[in-house]
Amino acid sequence: MMPDANCLQWRLLLPHDLPAMHDLHLLGMAGMAAQAVKPESRDFLLGLLQGRGTVIGAWHEDALVAYGVLQHDLLAEDDPRMLLGLDAAQPVRKLAGATVAPGWRGLGLQRMLIERRLACAPRDAALFATAAPCNPPSWRNLLACGFAVRALVYRYGGHARYLLARVPQEAGAAGAGLELGGNELPRQQALLAQGWRGTAPGAAAGSLRLVPPTGTGGPVGVPAGRAAP
């Protein structure tokens, strides 16, 4: 029998929840490659619980089965403002990781964690997250919640990461686009650097639909790819 997500109790995690949070992080990381998910240290998780961020947790009885992080105290190398073309005074928050226990996957908890963190963020904050191209469930959920892929960067030991963002009062991209697969990361990176945005999953597994900057008239002069519908 599938577990029932409606029976979960949600609350903010506190420092005394560190053992449960760390255990769930390790459980979620089991079998995952470093290029897909960034492992975190116990000390890093403790710092989040002690004030570097807000951590939302879902409990089933005495067991923590899911958590998501909204981080405001960022390292300089994590600051996305330059890549996003934002003013230095623009408030930013990072959706800095989420974990769901294996037995509770497939119930939409990842998306619930995103939505709950959006509700906790200041209304004027630009929100961002990173997700590995080889981990489609992560970036597909972010796209479904209004984020767009804005850049392809290499972080955490040189692993590829999409930088996804949701910026207040910023017009969404639309128009003719291209669908590029996960084996076409250099082409994706080049288009994103030109202002294209990844707005939706492509039809092929693991592919991303990219659309050009507003007013450019579509993919004229771009190397041929699969036209997105």
pLDDT category, 229, cuts 50, 70, 90?
very low
Domain ranges of the chain: 5-170, 175-229
Q: 27-41, 58-72, 203-217 — which one is most confidently predicted on average? A: 58-72
Asked if the model's pLDDT at residue 120 lies above 90, the reply is yes
Distance CA 115, CA 118 (A): 5
At 219 the pLDDT is: 47
Name the one residue in this structure whose structure tokens are 């963190």: 117
Distance CA 114, CA 96 (A): 10
Better pLDDT: 149 or 219: 149
Level-2 CATH architecture, domain 5-170: 3-Layer(aba) Sandwich (3.40)
Query: CA dihedral defined by 100, 32, 39, 62, rounded to 10 degrees?
Result: 30
- Read off the pTM: 0.89
Distance CA 58, CA 52 (A): 20
CA angle 178, 168, 77 (to 5 degrees): 80
At 221 the pLDDT is: 45
| Number of neighbours of residue 205 by Cβ within 10 angstroms | 9
SS3 letters across the chain: CCCCHHHCEEEECCHHHHHHHHHHHHHHHCCCCCCCCCCCCHHHHHHHHHHHEEEEEEEECCEEEEEEEEECCCCHHHCCHHHHCCCCCCCEEEEEEEEECHHHCCCCHHHHHHHHHHHHCCCCCEEEEEECCCCHHHHHHHHHCCCEEEEEEEECCCEEEEEEEECCCCCCCCCCCEEECCCCHHHHHHHHHCCCEEEEECCCCCCEEEECCCCCCCCCCCCCCEECC
Orientation of helix 136-144 relative to helix 109-120, angle to 10°: 50
